[in-house]
Amino acid sequence: MSRRSQPETPAPGTIGMRAAWGAVTVFALAYPLMYVVVALLRDGHPFELEWMEGAVVGHVRRVLQGQPLYVAPSLHFTPFIYPPLYFYLGALVTKFTGLGFTPLRLLSFAASLGTIGLVFMTVRHGTSRRLPALLGACLFAASYREGGAWFDLARVDSVYICAVASGIFLLRRDQPWRSGALGGFAFALAALTKQSALFIAAPALVFLLVADWRRGIAFGGTFALLVGGATLVLDRASGGWYSFYVFDLPRHHPIIGQLLRGFWTTDLLGAFAIAFAFGAFRFCRMSRGTWRRDGLDLALVLGLVLTAYVTKIRVGSYDNLVIPAHLAASLAFGWGLDRLLEFRMSLSERGAALERFAVTLCLLQFALLLYKPWRQIPTAEHAAAGRQFVQSLGRVSGDVWIPSHPYLAEMAGKPSWAHELALTDVLRRVDSHEHRALMDSLRVALREHRFGLVILDHTGWLKEEAQPYYDHVAQMFGENEKELFWPLTGFYTRPDFVWTPTGDSSAVGRR
């Protein structure tokens, strides 16, 4: 785990090679710069960039109001299937800034920058070269669009990934007991942000208990104490609802068969095959003197990739679930490039050819991740459509139910309701008591015309349930507004179809 003391790699012997590495560096540095610009330009957008952001703000509001997150599912509020750390951190930030999208996006933005820095420090530790560490960090920034343009959203993922990256960095440090405990602490924070961190920690723990038992005991003991203790406390405080949402419901997400292979060919190797090839070179050259450190790194990389796999292949997944594999690719890329540069020093004439090949592969890897940054920034027309939408809702008499975007009703001064996805996660278990109770309350609300207006998305979720008691009377967006008010990433959906209580023609129609 200690730093190697070899000298800095000599500069390439030709002006052409120095220029080539310079071009790679400039190309790579364009990605973090591009990401920062995009994130800052869209941070203040007053509407969702992704369809769950508004409900995340609602979760933070409950924390600020002192209300519990993990309660029996209802139409009024049903939580997402995440542990609470992001929501509590978001509440802490909003105490200084006020509630809304901006503070939560800034929290994610800061966490993503932290991850980029941690990739650099993790690759840099144990080497004497800055270039591989810099390119590894830039590769993670370059994965922004491949990961769903997710880094700066009001979602849990960036804080979760930053905690994982912190755990990897700390776990690899010297002093086994101390680094194991600090790594276990960081991984525990990750697991209390998103429970899939458990799958990343498990392979590393198994390896350490076999190969580096002191580090492994400190890591596993700290991790188990914090995660287990928090789970017991939260479960007891919520009457068992914490475990229901965080551990029970995710197990019932069906697997999508075509993704079992598509993950590898499309989501991962299609864009990051070169990065993993560099990593394979590093791990294939493990030596007796470095096998503990290299073995731990391999266990961490495999844990990151397999975690992305087991979550991405399930119903409801999106590109953000591959971000752990992108972190693995970035670390493997930096580690592999460092080992390759070290190896070429042992060659003579063939070393120059190997270096030219490495430069070409680096350029190609970054070229594969090119995207159009302006496509990630909402337009003024998008914001104007949102404001008109909210104004229309404000003219409605009575409550408004927009299950896919309940925050819009609240912006119009109406009560907020549970998000469609949170309800769907509960309703997916058709044989459960929770399913029956929730469907009964939903049918009663529709039958009694509790809502003066129901607006469903183009997917028509709950259309069959609404039809006996509500009439489809209009659409919020006309033919000339086909491109307006769609989210920029995630599930591609928008509120559009207007339903009013049967026999009531006075409610709002098209804007």
Asked if 254 and 111 sit in the same domain, the reply is yes
**In one letter, which amino acid is 130?**
R
Asked if 407 and 345 sit in the same domain, the reply is no
What's phi and psi for 453, nearest 5 deg?
-155, 140
Asked if 283 and 323 sit in the same domain, the reply is yes
Q: Has residue 341 been placed in a domain? A: yes
Q: Has residue 347 been placed in a domain? A: yes
Asked if 109 and 168 sit in the same domain, the reply is yes
Dist CA 105 CA 330 (whole Å): 23
**Residue stretches of the chain with pLDDT short of 70:** 1-13, 348-349, 459, 504-511
Q: Has residue 74 been placed in a domain? A: no
Q: Has residue 66 been placed in a domain? A: no
495-501: strand order across its sheet: 399-401, 451-457, 495-501, 470-475
Asked if 178 and 121 sit in the same domain, the reply is yes
Q: Has residue 312 been placed in a domain? A: yes
- Count Cβ atoms below 10 Å from residue 457 Cβ, excluding itself: 19
**In one letter, which amino acid is 76?**
H
Please spell the DSSP secondary structure of 316-379, one letter per residue: T--GGGGHHHHHHHHHHHHHHHHHHHHHHTT-SHHHHHHHHHHHHHHHHHHHTT---GGGGS--
pLDDT at 481: 85
Number of domains in the chain: 2
Asked if 371 and 411 sit in the same domain, the reply is no
Asked if 291 and 384 sit in the same domain, the reply is no
Which of the listed residues 375, 392, 418 is the one where a domain comes to its end? 375
Which of the listed residues 375, 391, 411 is the one where a domain comes to its end? 375
472: left (phi over 0), alpha (psi -120 to 50) or beta: beta
Asked if 430 and 443 sit in the same domain, the reply is yes
| Lookup: tokens for 308 | 């992305």
Beta strands in 397-464 (DSSP E): 399-401, 451-457
Q: Has residue 474 been placed in a domain? A: yes
The answer to whether residues 409 and 400 touch, using CB atoms and an 8 Å cutoff, is yes
pLDDT at 506: 52
pLDDT at 18: 83
Q: Supply the range of the domain harboring residue 92.
A: 15-42+81-375
Q: Among residues 89, 97, 102, which one has the least CA distance to residue 162?
A: 89
Strand-pair partners of 456: 497
Residue with tokens 């999508």: 256
Asked if 409 and 459 sit in the same domain, the reply is yes
The answer to whether residues 176 and 139 touch, using CB atoms and an 8 Å cutoff, is no
Record the pTM. Answer: 0.94
SS3 457: strand
Q: Has residue 507 been placed in a domain? A: no
- Count Cβ atoms below 10 Å from residue 340 Cβ, excluding itself: 19
DSSP H or E run through 471 = strand 470-475
pLDDT at 46: 96
Residue with tokens 């914090």: 226
pLDDT at 348: 63
Cα dihedral across residues 196, 252, 458, 416: positive or negative: negative
The answer to whether residues 191 and 206 touch, using CB atoms and an 8 Å cutoff, is no
Dist CA 128 CA 131 (whole Å): 9
Asked if 401 and 371 sit in the same domain, the reply is no
Asked if 388 and 478 sit in the same domain, the reply is yes
DSSP label of 480: G
Q: What is the pLDDT of residues 291-336, one digit of tens each?
A: 888 999 999 999 999 999 999 999 989 999 999 999 999 999 999 9
Q: Has residue 9 been placed in a domain? A: no
Asked if 360 and 399 sit in the same domain, the reply is no
DSSP label of 312: H
Which of the listed residues 375, 398, 430 is the one where a domain comes to its end? 375
| Lookup: tokens for 104 | 């939560």
Give the number of C-alpha atoms closer than 13 A to the C-alpha of residue 476, restricted to the C-beta side.
27
